[in-house]
Amino acid sequence: MSIDFAALLREELAQHVQGSEKVVVDTSNSSLPPKVGSMRDVNTEEVRFPSDWRVSCKVEGAVECVWLIENALSEGCERVIVDDLRQSQCESGPVSSKVCDEVSSSGRWVSLKDRRVLKWDREPQFSGWASQLAACFSRDLSTWQGSACNHILVNWYDADGGILPHTDGPAYLAATATVSLSEPAIMRFSPRLGFEGKTFDLLLRPRAVVVFSHEAYSTHTHEILPGSAITISESCLNRPDAAEDLARLHEHRRVQNRASLTFRHCLPEPARV
């Protein structure tokens, strides 16, 4: 049995609240920090996806429908996004999970055990680079069966932070595109209980986009391995060939926050199965 992302988030919130009385949140309560404000624009010409990405970026040896697009964003785009995310936490401040529910958390940073989470639930909340990237992903990746991205999830990880195995669940169309920023990480896919398949890893370098759908979305869980060290196992499908690159990664220690942006299409509730 696996847990979908919404259930995972609820479980993490519950763990933080455990031992405290349940707090009913009034979303108009002035004690809540303001929602995250507008983001800056980026140069969308520096967001690049190969026209044949479904062929040239397909991950060989993985379950069907996994792609990895390296250097999809420029360093300049990455810098703007990471700086905006860092600044927004200074200006708005994180909401304690003890005083925030799933509804009132939209548009606000929420503190969890080893990361902070920010989600924009609907397209009208997007601004600046969030709106630009959602449009680029919807147009150039065509991942969501002709529908547009209308949901963005931001994870701001501690240097040694990760996320437990989960699926993204039935709330979304069965496709996900995630940008990795600031620091490298290992993403692990594992077959869900009752499904056949193998466990495999992907090395996510900064500015890479991982896209997965169909079998990878529904029959496998995915996770980000915790720890400040990057361990490249034999099951890593994009393991560097050059010995010096491999040694450099093994010696690397994450010392700053890692960020990820996950783009999805959220289904209306009656359409969820």
pLDDT tens-digit series, residues 117-132: 999 987 677 899 999 9
Percentage of the chain beyond pLDDT 70 is: 81
Q: How far is residue 23 from each of residues 13, 110, 270, measured CA to CA in Å?
A: 12, 15, 29
Residue 145: which residues within 8 A CB-CB, separation 6 or more? 173, 175
Residue 69 has pLDDT above 80, yes or no: yes
pLDDT, position 96? 61
Rounded to the nearest 5°, which phi and psi values hold at 59?
-85, 110
pLDDT tier at 86, thresholds 50, 70, 90: very high
pLDDT tier at 262, thresholds 50, 70, 90: very high
pLDDT tier at 206, thresholds 50, 70, 90: very high
CB 150 within 8 A of CB 244: no
Structure token pair of residue 173:
């169309």
Closest CA to 103 of 116, 122, 85: 122
Residue 258 has pLDDT above 80, yes or no: yes
User: What is the value of pTM for the model shown?
Assistant: 0.86
pLDDT tier at 13, thresholds 50, 70, 90: low
pLDDT, position 21? 33
Residue 1 has pLDDT above 50, yes or no: no
Residue 12 has pLDDT above 90, yes or no: no
Once rounded to an integer, what is the mean pLDDT over residues 58-85? 96
pLDDT, position 100? 53
Rounded to the nearest 5°, which phi and psi values hold at 126?
-70, 145
Closest CA to 239 of 74, 78, 71, 62: 62
Q: What is the mean pLDDT of the chain?
A: 85
Once rounded to an integer, what is the mean pLDDT over residues 62-74? 95
Kindly report, residue by residue over 14-51, the tens digit of the pLDDT: 554 443 333 333 344 445 667 787 899 999 999 999 99
Task: Please tell me the distance from the alpha carbon of residue 257 to that of residue 243, in angstroms, as a whole number.
Answer: 27
pLDDT, position 95? 67
Kindly report, residue by residue over 148-197, the tens digit of the pLDDT: 999 999 999 999 999 999 999 899 999 999 999 999 999 999 999 999 98
